[in-house]
Structure 1
Amino acid sequence: MSKWSRSVGSLVAAAVLTSTVLMASAEDKKSDKKDEKVVVSGTPADKDAAIVQDSTTEGSVTLAAGGTVNYRAVAGTLTVGATDQQDATLGLDGKLLPDSGEKAPDKDKPEDAPATARIFYTAYFKKDANGENRPVTFLYNGGPGSATMWLHMGSFGPRRVITTDTEHDAAAPYKIVNNTYTLLDVSDLVFIDAPGTGFSRIFGKDKEKAFWGTDPDAHAFERFIRRFLTKYDRWNSPKYLFGESYGTPRSAVLSADLQNIDLNGIVLLSAILSFDNSIDGPVLNPGVDQAYALGLPTFAATAYYHHKLPTQPAALEPFLAEVEKFALGEYMTALLQGSDLTDAQKQAMAEKLHGYTGLPVAYLLKANLRVSGGMFSKELQTDQDTTTGRLDSRYKGPDIDPLSESADYDPQSNAISSAYMTAINAYMRNELKFGKDWTYKPGAYMDSDFQWDLRHQAPGGPPIGSGEGGTNVMPDLAYTMKSNPKTKVFLAGGYYDLATPYFEGKYEMHHLPIPQKLQANISYHYYQAGHMIYVNDNILHQFHDDLATFIKSTESAH
């Protein structure tokens, strides 16, 4: 997930977005670790910020489809500079190159040194494979300001933490198991913690401004990827970006930043590229009503799941097709009329919305037909003093404040965060042999000085601060697709995601400023799950198969 997902309400209030939580772990040594062999080279990370040793281990994992993957895991760091010019003076170890012509910073005044980011990553390489030409996928969560423990310990790594779908499990010990749905069968994997999150750290003068913002963040990832390709001799590998939540706008900007590096594919999980479309805070953006329409199908799916509709449809997906048509048709037309909508028209629209959401007609009228995600989460099951989940609306929990207007917390986040936080900490230290005595930060947003600069300069657009409107990185993805017409996009999402509603992602793809023929390069994959579709075992299995097919079909794109 990402912080975006947890507190987008407050972030969007300042013009921000969605997706982070926390984690957990424990092991059944007899059954869960039977495939694992660990061989350590090097030493765990030193406490001294200037000395970091990578840790290499080996393991194997049995696949659901049969067979075994033997792999090498590297937990390590790469240091990047805050600017291209500065970055070019640094070696892979983060130290000044002998011929850089630059003066080493004063050791007694490290705060005056140029800003750098020491980015932590875990890379998994299939052994006995043609590494130079084997696909490599870069994965990251969002936030903004979230570590990548969610994707790392929940989706396609060789190990994952088990949580009970739609339930809040008992406290530790949690169970970390071999991941039979790992994507290592088709691609090497690199999980990256954003600067200032996980084990990644930022240093130097104005370090927060240098890395915490839409554009600085993407530039840091771009420099990291170039350094990684050099360190591991992977320049000729098929390359994929995989971002979740705020990781999707990062992927859009990053793809355009990677000049002279054509991507085989871009995976957007729980996407949002134009922040005006967020259902978290449209009330703070009056006059821009489409967020309400784009969130309506997720409201309908949630009401369907909890049996809150006045008439229960026979099946979910045909029902959602009907709601999507209504949302962009009658509903959007009504919203665009604003105060010109007559009382009779408003009454009729409220009654139709009641049929699709289960919300009372009187409530819909009082809300002026405009309900945010937080309002919906609070109101849908308010008769039972129950709050509906945000990241995954199948989850539910007791109201914190029965009288509040919007949800006070996210039951899904609370249900799984402890398990994932425990898992990443135990796994890193006990199995990957990295991070002894270090603090793993689930997110930079926990820092008192955390602020994210949402300003963005699109390719060919006006300088930062000169443009008008909300942050929108759709032009960046369009630029990438037009620059390399062979690039394929895999859009994935959950029907029960109130953080980044699935219909919003679909809407944005259909409105990319690209030639019509390039729309064929986008594939759509939706699942009966929430923001983190992989928490459900059956859906993780299907997600793996869909994504493996995508990679196999695009690794030889020419």
Structure 2
Amino acid sequence: MKGFRLALLGSAMAMAIAIPAQGEAKDTPPPAKHDEAHADGPPSLFKPHSVTSNGTVTVGGQRIDYRAEAGTIVVHPKGWDDSDWRSKSPKDLADKSNASPEASMFYVAYFKNGAPSPDRPITFLYNGGPGSSTVWLHMGAFGPRRVVTKDDSHTPAAPYSVVNNSDSLLDASDLVFIDAPGTGFSRIAGKDKEKAFYGIDADAHAFSEFVKAFLTKYNRWNSPKYLFGESYGTPRSAVLINDLTTDDDIDFNGVILLSQILDFHLFAGLQAGNPGAVEGYVVQVPTYAATAWYHNLVPGGRPAELEPFLKQAEQFATTEYAAALAQGSEIDPATKQAVAKKLAYFSGLPVDYILKADLRVDGPEYSKELQQARGLTTGRLDTRFSGPDMDPLSKDAEYDPQSAALSSAYVSAFNQYTRNSLHYGEHQAYKPSINVFQYWDWKHDAPGVPSIPAMGSSVMPDLATAMKYDPQLKVMVNGGYYDLATPFYQGWYEMHHLPIPDSLRGNIEYHYYQSGHMVYAHAESLKKLHDNVVAFIRKTDNLNN
């Protein structure tokens, strides 16, 4: 889990793996139905392929029978013309030398049986990275089966327990879990393949092509449609919804953002590369406060309730702290001392450490320092987690305890599930994450904004443009209080600086949870997330209007 999970980061279950759900008999899967692509068509490095299976999940006490389709859709980079292949001879069609780049994108789709497709919402889900597969959302959040992990500590090794997911979104929507090009079972090939698919705009284009091809393949053009992105999946959603809405004339009912980052200037851990930009330090303070509260490290004793304490932290961060940082070297020493003392109160860090850091502490430094006296590194994806220090003398955290605690369970369970229940992936390696950073193009052509030739792009204009182009588009923001990778207050801050008219601000709703980056890794938060997303879909699907 790399990228915004920084080697820390960031499911669809038809039957139990390892240990069946309590009270359930182990299912016997029906024979799989394989669908091979026709031979005629464009010259291709890949052939679309799908496998059909069936399953059952119980959500809210109601049994849902579903059909699962695990397969691939082939997409091409921007500028590819599907008429080119028609002029080629049969001999050319078999020639794979020096082929144009293309991606075979893996997906698992779940369709509720007995529900007419035109009247059934459909949600496209993906994780982020960039470079992450969607095993995390698939296996931990909304698929029919869910892997059971420890709440805030390391999950023991196999066998892992995979159970009926009573919080699957199949009660409200059909689901399509998509692996980004090169991740999971998705593959890329052809000349300059990395350049063709690894970048803000290239990635969004690939997903746009996938969505259109999927709507055609399964005849879902007239269904209520939603995007659900987590972590880097949120900037992908911002670019993607603008592309689909303004370029392809496809309006979506809603965009659901989980663990949001739309402005990379605010990314926790990169502020040192742009010392004059102080907002990145500001938006982290409420997460520092939540973390100190959780670990009982608030000086003078932990306040009784978390949310009021966070409101105090937000007020301090956006007023006194932001003003102090904005003064730079002109700050008065007495003011600096007073601000350092207040930051120590909210963060749990020593005043001397904060002063040595010139009031500027980034995410990796915080993860390293907060519990160093205890010999522990604090989690980054979820600060409720802690793990032994790798190097007590280092400045930054060397790893993420939550990623270390959960990854094996997710990856192991999904590998068994996809092969045994979905009947997909024989003789193939599933890649939970890949390193795309050496290739990733961070330049971005935001609507009406010149490209920025360095990491630090913002996709806020994309989401704003889509919302203005389609003033009916609704947006749902979700975040975890203990997320230090994409701090929850950053999402709030970004959306309240979105360049949209006041008349559209009511199209955005906000939900926060006592969990981390992977909100669904906390069972109580998963339940709340499910209920909130279901409510969002049902009030925006236009089926009862």
Output the TM-score relative to the length of structure 1: 0.91
Shift of 1:43: 4.0
Shift of 1:344: 1.5
Instruction: State whether structure 2 residue 506 is matched by structure 1 residue 525.
Output: no
> What does the per-residue CA deviation read over 1:473-510, in whole Å, with 9 as the maximum and x for residues that have no partner?
00000011001111100100100000000000000000
Instruction: State whether structure 2 residue 47 is matched by structure 1 residue 55.
Output: no
Residue pair 1:240, 1:263 contacting (<8 A) in 2 also? yes
Alignment of 1:108-147 (within 5 A): 110=96, 112-147=98-133
For 1:245, the equivalent position in structure 2 comes to: 231
Instruction: State whether structure 2 residue 22 is matched by structure 1 residue 34.
Output: no
Q: Secondary structure at the match of 1:77?
A: strand
- Give the AA of the match of 1:265: G
Shift of 1:51: 4.9
| Among candidates 464, 470, 473, match of residue 456 of structure 2 | 470
Instruction: State whether structure 2 residue 5 is matched by structure 1 residue 6.
Output: yes
CA RMSD of aligned residues (A): 2.2
- Give the AA of the match of 1:432: L
| CA 384–111 in structure 1, closer or farther in 2 if over 3 Å, else same | farther
| Among candidates 361, 368, 384, match of residue 351 of structure 2 | 361
Instruction: State whether structure 2 residue 77 is matched by structure 1 residue 79.
Output: no
> What does the per-residue CA deviation read over 1:269-312, in whole Å, with 9 as the maximum and x for residues that have no partner?
00000000111221111100111010000001000000011131
| CA 240–105 in structure 1, closer or farther in 2 if over 3 Å, else same | farther
Q: Secondary structure at the match of 1:191?
A: strand
For 2:329, the equivalent position in structure 1 comes to: 339
Residue pair 1:5, 1:391 contacting (<8 A) in 2 also? no
Partner Cα separation in structure 1 for residue 240 and residue 118 of structure 2: 23
Q: Secondary structure at the match of 1:524?
A: strand
For 1:541, the equivalent position in structure 2 comes to: 527
| CA 469–431 in structure 1, closer or farther in 2 if over 3 Å, else same | closer
For 1:11, the equivalent position in structure 2 comes to: none
> What does the per-residue CA deviation read over 1:388-434, in whole Å, with 9 as the maximum and x for residues that have no partner?
00000000000000010111110000000100110111011011000
Partner Cα separation in structure 2 for residue 416 and residue 513 of structure 1: 38
| CA 264–84 in structure 1, closer or farther in 2 if over 3 Å, else same | farther
Q: Secondary structure at the match of 2:283?
A: helix
| Among candidates 146, 163, 166, match of residue 160 of structure 1 | 146
Residue pair 1:252, 1:477 contacting (<8 A) in 2 also? yes
Instruction: State whether structure 2 residue 406 is matched by structure 1 residue 416.
Output: yes
| CA 459–66 in structure 1, closer or farther in 2 if over 3 Å, else same | same
Alignment of 1:75-114 (within 5 A): 75-86=70-81, 88-89=82-83, 96=85, 100-102=86-88, 110=96, 112-114=98-100
For 1:278, the equivalent position in structure 2 comes to: 267
Q: Secondary structure at the match of 1:489?
A: strand
* Unaligned 5+ runs, structure 2: 11-15, 38-43
Shift of 1:54: 1.2
Instruction: State whether structure 2 residue 319 is matched by structure 1 residue 329.
Output: yes
Alignment of 1:68-467 (within 5 A): 68-86=63-81, 88-89=82-83, 96=85, 100-102=86-88, 110=96, 112-258=98-244, 259-311=248-300, 312-445=302-435, 450-462=438-450, 464=451
Instruction: State whether structure 2 residue 468 is matched by structure 1 residue 482.
Output: yes
Partner Cα separation in structure 2 for residue 434 and residue 318 of structure 1: 49
- Give the AA of the match of 2:33: G
Shift of 1:203: 1.2
Shift of 1:30: 7.1
* Unaligned 5+ runs, structure 1: 9-17, 91-95
| CA 103–299 in structure 1, closer or farther in 2 if over 3 Å, else same | farther
Residue pair 2:443, 2:455 contacting (<8 A) in 1 also? no
Output the TM-score relative to the length of structure 2: 0.93
Shift of 1:40: 3.3
| CA 171–49 in structure 1, closer or farther in 2 if over 3 Å, else same | farther
For 1:67, the equivalent position in structure 2 comes to: 62
How many residues are paired up?
Answer: 529
Q: Secondary structure at the match of 1:169?
A: coil
Q: Secondary structure at the match of 2:103?
A: strand
